[in-house]
Homo-oligomer: A and B are copies of this chain.
Amino acid sequence: MQVDFNEFLSASAKGMKPSPIRALLSVVNQPGVISFAGGFPNPATFPIEDLKNIMMEVLEEEGTKALQYGGTDGNAQLREELAKRYVRDGLDIDKDNIIITTASQQAIDLTAKVLLDPGDIVICGLPSYLGALQAFGTYQAKLVGAEKDEELEAVVRAMCLAGKKPKFIYAIPDFQNPTGLTMTIEQREYMVRIARKYDILILEDSPYKEIRFEGEHMPYIYSMAPERTILLGTFSKTFAPGFRLGWIVAPKEFIGKINIAKQSADLCSPTFDQMVAARYMKKGLFEKNLVGTVEMYRGKRDLMLKALEEYMPAGVTWTKPDGGLFLLVKLPEWCDAKELFDIAIKKNVAFVIGEAFFCDGSGKNTFRVNYSFMDDEGIVEGVKRLASAIEEFIFMKK
């Protein structure tokens, strides 16, 4: 007896597409492949020795609490530690403005669930983080590209005139995924002005902000528009993605709504992992470890930029990030990065095709590369292979 599950699927499920990154994993994880595809932190940044001590402490001192159910809002000590850092960075919040989530992907998903009905409009960058675009898609939202400068107001005004006021603007202001670029203070002020003028929320996704290689930290958009900003944070790039810990910072009224949605979604995030993270922060180890992480990634970024400069054929350009994990490479206009991918994988190097990050279907001539995960030799060798793949591709096509 055979059941066709397609007959039972919800409209949401029928529209779901597998993440192109996840779908690549089996290919890019093959031995010998130099993968710039994932968004993985470098395992050398994982504080394994510190965690051994902290885990023993947690099990010995509060093991029965750590293995039990926790509150849906999350561990109070952890929220206090997080709140302290945000207050230091100019936010007027306390721990009850924070709810812990099962990493920032859940933060995105719950926010979307609480805000989006089918057909609702979300404004997002061109390009923008594809995991967020996919999550919005599962609630059948319509994604409209535009984030910066004049274009934003033109799009928002047009939408409002059409009776489809956008629900929120999705922005990654610092070292954006996939470009690695950062919004200027003027761009932030402009976004806040538009959001206020048209009464729209801002979803500020901030996984990379602390990984700054040079220059001054920019203010959180949340600090500029606390009444309408929902700020997302995560430990996945600066501590340990394997713990699946992220959080939402928002006005308390909104945190209350997220809390109810989270009760149905997974009741609470891992208690043990939260208590380990709380102690890790309280001991000052988070700040200490972050210094080393930033230094390591700065070196890797420098190395990658130098290798790109040295090996890339003419006509290829790329972004120059001041922080974060990624940069975006741009091929000549007529190139399709999807076709390049097949050649690249034969040369044992992988990236993520840029198209998936552009909600309007553009960006076909772009691809994202990650520099945090690969060892230094791999970065240089990978860029060489990439350059040779691009040369072969351009030669073939000409």
Contacts and interface: CB of A to CB of B under 8 A. Distances in A.
A30 to B, nearest CB: 15
16 contacts: A3-B228, A5-B251, A5-B253, A10-B115, A19-B260, A43-B68, A46-B63, A46-B68, A55-B55, A56-B56, A102-B269, A103-B267, A131-B264, A137-B264, A138-B264, A244-B271
A241 interface: yes
Contact of A18 (B46, B134, B263): B263
Interface stretch (A69-77, A208-216, A293-301): A69-77
Contacts of A269: 102, 244
A52 to B, nearest CB: 5
Contacts of A271: 241-244
A67 interface: yes
A138 B25 contact: no
Interface of A: 1-3, 5, 8-13, 16-19, 22, 25, 38, 40-41, 43, 46, 48, 51-52, 55-56, 59-60, 63-64, 66-72, 101-103, 105-106, 109, 113-117, 120, 131, 134-135, 137-139, 167-168, 196, 199, 201, 227-228, 236, 240-244, 251, 253-254, 257, 259-261, 263-273
A200 B60 CA distance: 49
Contact of A270 (B2, B114, B196, B270): B270
B266 A115 contact: no
A241 B71 contact: no
A38 B263 contact: no
B9 A114 contact: yes
Contacts of A167: 8
Interface-central residue, A3, A19, A71, by most chain B CB under 10 Å:
A3
Contact of A261 (B8, B138, B236, B260): B138
A102 B100 CA distance: 14
A251 B2 CA distance: 10
Given A115-B10, A201-B8, A270 B251 contact: no
